[in-house]
């Protein structure tokens, strides 16, 4: 990370029309007009430890700097930089030209710290399922002594299933939740999914091993949903001993920062119409926004 930050410093010096060797030497001694700025990315406490059981804290965070017009800096200096965690936030220091404007992009997730770094925050690859992801940006920003501080927010939907009846998932009687429309890339600059990254197979979670008592959480997962106008059809099925049919919920807003809870009598799912209730929570921690109609 130190090497990357030094490269940023050197690149900015090159913008001042110095040769590379002279720029590096002069920058070390007098900064050639470059100024240090501390960049901080915060993940809300509620986001790191939400009321939804089982959520993990962010393990890593990356920042990418572009020119204020959205184009890349010279050299490799628009490559994502890994930020340093302090337990509550992530930060780094870069040297910038005080007369220029910059776009700052941020991405944090719960991937292992040794996982491959994202190559471009305008098309971050995302694997639907277990990973929580946050993002944010600060565009067209000039140097300031106060630095840049951005609070990130979830870019994925959380789906939780709670059973109000005992049931057992097995190879013979699997429980399945299907999300037909998900994406696998996110553009932090645009604050939206990458349109051509739609996963043709959607996302499917199978529960085939375990016994669940009444009022227990069966599973939860995270998916990268669509745009604000998206209304997806999510389906649930417990293929139990009675041949339970599929239950569709046809107007599910699988959007960034939304928490969808499916709760009801899983054992008899589909045998009694409407015995599964789907509800929406925005922000993952705020009061429920409303119920999703069973169709």
Using the 3D structure, point to which of 154, 185, 200 is the last residue of a domain: 154
Residue from 221, 209, 198, 1 nearest 93 by CA:
1
pTM: 0.84
Residue 47 has phi, psi (to 5 degrees) of -75, -30
Q: Which residue has the tokens 């800096």?
A: 73
Average pLDDT over residues 275-294: 72
**Which CATH number covers residue 280?**
2.60.40
Average pLDDT over residues 197-212: 93
pLDDT at 6: 40
Q: How far apart are CA 259 and CA 294, in angstroms?
A: 17
Kindly tell me if the per-residue pLDDT of 8 is higher than 60. Answer: no
In this structure, the answer to whether residues 149 and 162 fall within a common structural domain is no
Using the 3D structure, point to which of 100, 129, 154 is the last residue of a domain: 154
DSSP assignment of 11-55 equals HHHHHTT--HHHHHHHHHHHGGGEEEEEEEEE--HHHHS-SSTT-
Count of domains forming the chain: 2
Instruction: Please provide the average confidence, as pLDDT, over all residues in the chain.
Output: 83
Average pLDDT over residues 8-16: 41
Kindly tell me if the per-residue pLDDT of 198 is higher than 80. Answer: yes
Kindly tell me if the per-residue pLDDT of 292 is higher than 90. Answer: no
In tens, the pLDDT along 114-157 reads: 999 999 999 999 999 999 999 999 999 999 999 999 999 999 99
In this structure, the answer to whether residues 88 and 144 fall within a common structural domain is yes
Q: How far apart are CA 61 and CA 14, in angstroms?
A: 27
In tens, the pLDDT along 165-179 reads: 999 999 999 999 999
Kindly tell me if the per-residue pLDDT of 228 is higher than 80. Answer: no
In this structure, the answer to whether residues 43 and 163 fall within a common structural domain is no
pLDDT at 290: 61
pLDDT at 39: 97
Question: Residue 251 is part of which domain span?
Answer: 157-292
Which pair of tokens denotes residue 153? Answer: 């927010």
In this structure, the answer to whether residues 263 and 147 fall within a common structural domain is no
pLDDT at 243: 83
């Amino acid at each position: 990370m130190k090497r990357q930050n030094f490269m940023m410093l050197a690149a900015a010096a090159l913008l001042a029309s110095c040769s590379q060797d002279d720029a590096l030497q002069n920058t070390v001694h007098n900064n050639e007009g470059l100024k240090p700025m501390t960049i901080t990315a915060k993940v809300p406490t509620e986001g790191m430890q939400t009321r939804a059981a089982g959520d993990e804290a962010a393990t890593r965070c990356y920042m990418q700097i572009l020119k204020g017009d959205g184009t890349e800096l010279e050299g490799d200096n628009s490559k994502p930089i890994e930020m340093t965690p302090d337990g509550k936030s992530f930060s780094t220091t870069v040297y910038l030209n005080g007369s220029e404007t910059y776009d700052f992009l941020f991405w944090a997730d719960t991937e292992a710290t040794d996982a491959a770094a994202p190559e471009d925050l305008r098309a971050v690859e995302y694997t639907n399922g277990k990973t929580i992801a946050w993002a944010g940006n600060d565009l067209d920003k000039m140097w300031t002594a106060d630095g840049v501080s951005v609070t990130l927010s979830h870019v994925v939907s959380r789906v939780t299933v709670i059973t109000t009846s005992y049931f057992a998932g097995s190879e013979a009687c699997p429980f399945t939740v299907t999300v037909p429309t998900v994406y696998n890339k996110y553009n932090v600059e645009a604050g939206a999914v990458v349109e051509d990254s739609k996963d043709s197979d959607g996302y499917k979670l199978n529960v085939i091993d375990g016994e669940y008592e009444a009022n227990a959480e069966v599973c939860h997962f995270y998916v990268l949903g669509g745009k604000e106008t998206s209304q997806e059809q999510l389906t649930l099925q417990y293929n139990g001993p009675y041949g339970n049919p599929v239950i569709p919920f046809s107007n599910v807003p699988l959007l960034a920062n939304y928490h969808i809870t499916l709760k009801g009598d899983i054992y008899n799912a589909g045998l009694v119409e409407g015995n599964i209730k789907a509800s929406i929570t925005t922000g993952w921690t705020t009061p429920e926004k409303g119920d999703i109609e069973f169709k």
